[in-house]
Amino acid sequence: MKRKTRILLAGLASVGGAVVGAGMLHNRRPDRRERLYVTFYSEPGYMGRNEKLTWTGGRREVVPLNRVRLPRIGSIRLERLVYRFQPDVRLPNPYFLWHALTERSDPSDPEDGIVGFIAMHQLVGMFSVGLWEPVRESEARSGVRLWAGRPARDPGTPSGKAASGGSRWHDVLANTPDLGSWSTRARYLELGYHGGSGARR
- Owning domain of residue 96: 1-30+91-125
Shared-domain flag, residues 40 and 77: yes
Residue 201: inside a domain, yes or no?
Answer: no
> DSSP readout, 113-149?
HHHHHHHHHHHHTTS---EEEEPPGGG--EEEEEESS
Q: What is the pLDDT of residues 110-167, one digit of tens each?
A: 666 666 667 666 666 665 667 788 988 888 889 999 999 988 654 444 434 443 346 8
Higher pLDDT, 190 or 19: 190
Shared-domain flag, residues 135 and 77: yes
Task: Put the strands of the sheet holding 47-55 in their side by side order.
Answer: 47-55, 34-43, 75-84, 131-134
Shared-domain flag, residues 69 and 97: no
Shared-domain flag, residues 119 and 134: no
Shared-domain flag, residues 83 and 143: yes
- pTM attached to this predicted model: 0.61
Residue 198: inside a domain, yes or no?
Answer: no
